[in-house]
Structures are given as C-alpha cells and as structure tokens.
C-alpha cells in the first residue's frame, strides 16, 4: 500500500509539474464612463455618420485599432484591417484576436462582433442631417471593445476569441460576408459567433436584459442564461416576426459555418423610435444599463471560452 501511495504521489507531482501555468490577470469591471467615452467619439459629428468609404469611418477604424493596441489585443491578419473593395470604395473590417491559453482548445474560435459603420446622412431635422448612429451601432462597437479589454487583461480564455468590427453592414452585411468567407476559406474552426447590435437602450416591460435573434435555432440562449446564473437572455416575438436573425452580421457567419451565430440586442425597435434617424444621438443612451449588460455578458463569454466541450449547439431541424 505504501508503495502504491508513493507511486500516486510521484505521478501527481509529475502531472502538476508539467501542467502549463496560466497567469490569470485581475478581474475588471467595465464602467459606464468608458462606454460613454467610446460611444461619444464614435457617434460624434466629426465622423459624419461613419458611412463606408468615408474619412469618418477611416477615423473610427483608427480609433478602434489604437484602443485594441492599448489593451494588448493582437491583429488577426498582418494588420488590424481586413481590406476589400466595395465597387470603387476602399472598405475594411477591423479584426483583433486574443489567442486561447489551451494548446488544443485555442484552435476553436469564438467571434465577438458588431458593425461600426452607419448610414452617413439622413433626412434633416432642425438643420441636422448627420445620422450619428449612437445606438446603431456605436453601442455594439463599444461593447466589443470593452470585452476585448477585459479578455486582454484577464488572459484566461482557453479558446481563442476573435473581435471583429464590420463595415458595410448598412449596405447589406457586406463586411461580415467578406470576413466570414475569408475565414471559411482558411478553415477556421468557429465554435460560436455573438454579434452585438443596438445595446444602448433597455426594455421596460420584459424580464430579461437582451434577446437573441434566431432564439429557437440553437441552445445558445439557454446556455447563456445558465452561465450567467440569471435570465439575461429572452425571446423577442418582434425579432422572429421580422426575421432579424437574417438582418445582422451574425447571418453571414451562420451561412458559412452552420454553427450557433446569433445577435444579442436590447432593441427590437419597439423601445427605440430613431432607427436610421438623425436623432439617434448619445443623449438617448442609457450607459448604466449598457455597462450592466456588458458586465453580465462577459462571464458568459468567459465560460463559453473555457468549457471542455462545445456545449452550445444548433437544434436539429424539425
């Protein structure tokens, strides 16, 4: 018996000695002030509505790149920009990555995305024609940046996380389509894709913070609530009625990879009157709500990135 115990101790000691050490950084809380700062810049008149191919969206991309660099997020490609042509326009997504710490699981990717473009100009209201797109989608962009900051600080994700900000969503999901096709051609192993869209205003009459498009297509909502330990995610009848699953940047990823790729949003247009309107301004955003939503979602993504197996799966078609 003593020899057996001694052998077990030696085996355990050897296993512990060879277990790769993961230096986990401090937990941080995303503040309403830092979210407001990002949305304030992205939805400023200076960027002229962030239309694809303009100086405004170029400046927005530069801002995102500098923030990523300051966090320690690495470019996924040679640079942060995923360049492509849109007719005669130069277009570019901004793509960063935090590699997973597990030698096997790091080859599986979670994509956290949002579109950072908007429509440029809209119908004038009181001599204002710049469609600043605070809720649509400076908020989602700020949310992706906040999550990138968290995971770059924490350094504990076993799976790799891709942070993608898309251009040309307003022109037909063209930026996400380009990136999804490019990643598919590279045979990237995409586990899930969570897209953030219009997260700056809360619902007033629902028992959840946000909904998922394509709610019934996978068990993502169920798993996100389990990981959160609360009813973070709910079902939106409006989303299903208007097929919002197919109308945001999650869809090109689903189309290419056929894995759970869904959009998280707190706005199905029943609680926001200024979609593609020049009055989609920062003054209407609720940054305390937004910070709470992001801080509630981060541990969900953290768990998603660390489960031993792929727990989030598509439902079989009936």
Residues ≥6 apart with Cβ < 8 Å to 17: none
More confident position, 299 or 2: 299
Q: What is the pLDDT of residue 22?
A: 59
Q: What is the pLDDT of residue 33?
A: 98
Angle at 144 between CA 299 and CA 85, to 5 degrees: 145
In a domain, 283, yes or no: yes
User: From its phi and psi, is residue 187 left (phi > 0), alpha (psi between -120 and 50) or beta?
Assistant: left
In a domain, 134, yes or no: yes
Computed on alpha carbons and rounded to an integer, the radius of gyration of the chain in Å comes to 20
In a domain, 19, yes or no: no
Task: Give the separation between CA 138 and CA 256, rounded to whole angstroms.
Answer: 26
What burial class does residue 140 get, using C-beta atoms within 10 Å of its C-beta: 0-12 exposed, 13-18 middle, 19+ buried? buried
Residue 179 has pLDDT above 70, yes or no: yes
Q: Is the peptide bond before 170 cis (omega within 30 degrees of 0)?
A: no
In a domain, 11, yes or no: no
pLDDT band for position 185 (cuts 50, 70, 90): very high
In a domain, 21, yes or no: no
Q: Which residue has the tokens 């792929």?
A: 310
Low-confidence winner among 8-22, 252-266, 302-316 (lowest mean pLDDT): 8-22
In a domain, 234, yes or no: yes
Q: Which residue has the tokens 């490019």?
A: 182
**Mean pLDDT, range 291-308, rounded to an integer:** 98
Q: Are 47 and 58 within 8 A, CB to CB?
A: no
Task: Give the separation between CA 289 and CA 39, rounded to whole angstroms.
Answer: 14
Q: Are 130 and 187 within 8 A, CB to CB?
A: no
Query: pLDDT tens digits for 50-78?
Result: 999 999 999 999 999 999 999 999 999 99
Backbone angles phi, psi at 205, to 5 degrees: -130, 30
Q: What percent of the chain has pLDDT over 90?
A: 90
In a domain, 20, yes or no: no
Q: Which two tokens stand for residue 291?
A: 């910070």
Query: pLDDT tens digits for 38-53?
Result: 999 999 999 999 999 9
Q: Are 198 and 263 within 8 A, CB to CB?
A: no
- Count of domains in the chain? 1
Q: What is the pLDDT of residue 15?
A: 42
Q: Are 216 and 203 within 8 A, CB to CB?
A: no
Domain that holds residue 198: 28-304
In a domain, 310, yes or no: no
User: For residue 103, what is the domain's CATH number?
Assistant: 3.40.630.10
């Amino acid at each position: 018996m003593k020899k057996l115990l001694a052998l077990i101790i030696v085996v355990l000691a050897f296993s512990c000695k060879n277990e790769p050490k993961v230096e986990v950084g401090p937990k941080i809380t995303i503040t309403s002030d830092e979210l407001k700062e990002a949305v304030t810049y992205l939805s400023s008149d200076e960027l002229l509505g962030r239309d694809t191919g303009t100086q405004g969206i170029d400046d927005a991309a530069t801002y995102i790149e500098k923030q990523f660099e300051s966090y320690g997020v690495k470019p996924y490609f040679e640079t942060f920009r995923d360049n492509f042509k849109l007719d005669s326009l130069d277009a570019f997504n901004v793509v960063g990555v935090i590699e997973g710490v597990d030698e096997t699981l790091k080859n599986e990717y979670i994509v956290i995305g949002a579109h950072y473009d908007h429509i440029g100009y809209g119908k004038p209201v009181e001599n204002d024609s710049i469609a600043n797109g605070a809720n649509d989608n400076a908020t989602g962009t700020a949310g992706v940046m906040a999550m990138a900051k968290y995971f770059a600080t924490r350094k504990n994700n076993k799976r790799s996380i891709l942070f993608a900000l898309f251009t040309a969503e307003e022109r037909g999901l063209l930026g996400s389509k380009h990136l999804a096709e490019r990643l598919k051609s590279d045979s990237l192993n995409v586990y899930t894709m969570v897209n953030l869209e219009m997260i700056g205003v809360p619902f007033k009459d629902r028992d959840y913070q946000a909904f998922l498009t394509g709610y019934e297509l996978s068990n993502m909502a169920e798993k996100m609530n389990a990981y959160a330990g609360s009813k973070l995610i709910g079902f939106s009848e409006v989303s299903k009625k208007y097929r919002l699953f197919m109308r945001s940047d999650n869809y090109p990823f689903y189309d290419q990879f056929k894995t759970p790729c869904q959009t998280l949003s707190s706005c199905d247009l029943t609680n926001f009157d200024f979609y593609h309107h020049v009055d989609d301004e920062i003054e209407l955003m609720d940054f305390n709500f937004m910070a709470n939503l992001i801080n509630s979602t981060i541990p969900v993504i953290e768990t998603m990135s660390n489960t031993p197996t792929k727990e989030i799966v598509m439902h079989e078609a009936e």
